[in-house]
Amino acid sequence: MRKIRIGTRGSRLAIWQTDFVVNKLLELDDSLDIEKVMIRTKGDRFLDVALSRIGDKGLFTKEIEKELLGGSIDMAVHSMKDMPTRITEGLAIGAVLPRENWKDVLLSREGRKLAALPVGASVGTSSLRRRAQLLAMRPDLNIVDLRGNIDTRIKRLLNGELDAIVLAAAGVIRLGYGELVAEELEFMPAVGQGAIMVEIRDDDRAIGELVAKLDDRSTRLAIAAERTFLAELEGGCQIPVGCLGNVQDEFLALEGLVSDLEGKRVFRSRLSGPADEAEDLGRKLARELISQGAGAILKEIRNQERDDE
């Protein structure tokens, strides 16, 4: 096989994930010649702007996908939760690796849990989903927008700027910060959270056959349901949405959440069915939440977006 060039963002977590994929490929064939290619994305450049202001459509993937389409790299490694719900034409999901810890975790000074944080405590997160769920439990908290890589966010906690921060457990554990975790939160996670995916050109048969060996079917189906759920809900607006699918014995259980921005109106529902009907289940769950009242929240946030333009 030819030399394989793998595109990745340059953050320490992105490189960890890419190295993980490289090692898995070498376990399949230790004669492979693999090179990592660092690519800077829009999300890496605009670290002083809230994610909700600049949008998340390919924020951490678009530049990498451009190189993939152009042939300068042969595959790309992404966090699954960074992927837009519609894959760019000419590209495909080559593999979804087995999902690791999908939870959000609270890191705090003095190891305080969420309930024990002082009134008005400053909690950092860049996620509207996390913000809404934090405020649903603790409406007194001061939520501070927190951008940057994991190392940068943790530094702001440790130097006293914040009382606590919320991050994805998978990234915290992968980078060796597990001892700083005060609590695993029972939040509904982001779509795809905890999973690594490999993106390829849809016409590259050799690469497709290689990376397909890394694919975990149960994780792929669970996340397919989650991504369909999100696609059914979104209309270009920034909304607090969470979803989690779990496949066992060809049976998929799916739970979803939609909230207003302040966590005052939170809609949750769940359903289950055959795993091979993953996308239909995602669509049905989204429509169920819309009928329960989540549709009104979506309309309000879209109207607010138009007013801000």
CA distances from 141 to 111, 116, 132, 178, 220 (A): 17, 12, 11, 24, 36
**Total length of the chain:** 309
Task: Choose, from 29, 30, 33, 82, the residue flagged as catalytic.
Answer: 82
DSSP 204: -
SS3 116: helix
CB 22 within 8 A of CB 15: no
Contact residues for 195 (Cβ-Cβ < 8 A; gap 6+) = 79, 80, 81, 96, 97, 98, 99, 100, 102, 219, 223
- Pairing between strand 196-201 and 75-79? antiparallel
CB 195 within 8 A of CB 100: yes
DSSP 83: S
CB 201 within 8 A of CB 92: yes
Active site residue 280: no
Structure tokens that stand for 264 in this block: 């005052």
Catalytic residues: 82
